[in-house]
């Protein structure tokens, strides 16, 4: 192999890995592994990334609020309706059960640029509006307002919302005088990642 070819290979490898993680992170619809999680494997993996002793909710809250340059680069954490899937570049995988009565929806409002996403990745998904002040309202089909708050998107451009399971309703986000609304649902087959809310 020539020196030029070796240089190209060394340059391409990290780019290919980043692309692979990115595609896997903001993933298309799919099912979670059917194997039951092993508690010791899960805790060992969590400990290796400074997340020891945490349940799914704790891991999500920790990683979602961690600065981008501090997030684990060799850990994928994909949120499914019923489980948090964890995987490492080594091929090791495990999962943690999500809270029984709660559904986590991570939303990346945007003005000009977005991407396709179905299951949110805590370590690879990036939205357009990082660290932006937003107002969020969630109203159920019956007209009950269950979320009404002012908050900020995380550095990755997403804002997370814990919602009751098995509801349908309308989510409205307002940012800097622009807003967007969309229908949402929190069933066992629904997305945990929402990137289609264009502010106007």
**39 band by pLDDT with thresholds 50, 70 and 90:** low
Query: Could you tell me the pTM of the whole model?
Result: 0.81
**Domain extents in the chain:** 1-27+55-200
49-87 tens-digit pLDDT: 888 889 999 999 999 999 988 888 888 999 999 999 999
CATH C-level class of 1-27+55-200: mainly beta
All residues at 6 or more sequence positions from 48 whose CB lies less than 8 Å from its CB, including other chains: none
Mean pLDDT of the chain: 84
Tokens 């991407």 sit at which residue?
A: 115
Sign of CA dihedral 114, 116, 121, 123: negative
Which pLDDT score, from 0 to 100, does residue 27 have?
61
Which pLDDT score, from 0 to 100, does residue 3 have?
43
100-151 tens-digit pLDDT: 999 999 999 999 999 999 999 998 899 999 999 999 999 999 999 999 999 9
Contact status, residue 111 vs residue 128, Cβ threshold 8 Å: yes
């Amino acid at each position: 192999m020539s020196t030029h070819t070796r240089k190209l290979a060394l340059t391409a490898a990290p780019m290919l890995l980043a692309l692979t993680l990115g595609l896997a992170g903001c993933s298309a619809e799919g099912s979670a592994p059917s194997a039951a999680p092993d508690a010791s494997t899960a805790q060992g993996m969590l400990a290796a990334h400074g997340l020891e002793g945490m349940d799914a909710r704790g891991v999500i809250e920790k990683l979602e609020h961690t600065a981008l340059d501090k997030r684990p680069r060799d850990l994928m954490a994909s949120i499914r309706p019923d489980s948090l899937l964890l995987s490492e570049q080594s091929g090791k995988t495990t999962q943690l059960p999500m809270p029984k009565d709660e559904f986590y929806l991570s939303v990346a409002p945007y003005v000009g640029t977005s991407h396709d996403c179905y299951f949110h990745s805590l370590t690879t998904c990036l939205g357009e509006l990082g660290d932006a002040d937003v107002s969020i309202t969630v109203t159920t089909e019956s007209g009950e307002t269950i979320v009404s708050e002012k908050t900020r998107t995380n550095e990755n451009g997403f804002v997370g919302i814990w919602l009751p399971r098995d509801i349908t309703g309308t989510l409205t986000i307002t940012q800097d005088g622009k807003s967007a609304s969309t229908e949402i649902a929190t069933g066992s087959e629904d997305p945990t990642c929402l990137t289609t809310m264009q502010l106007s």
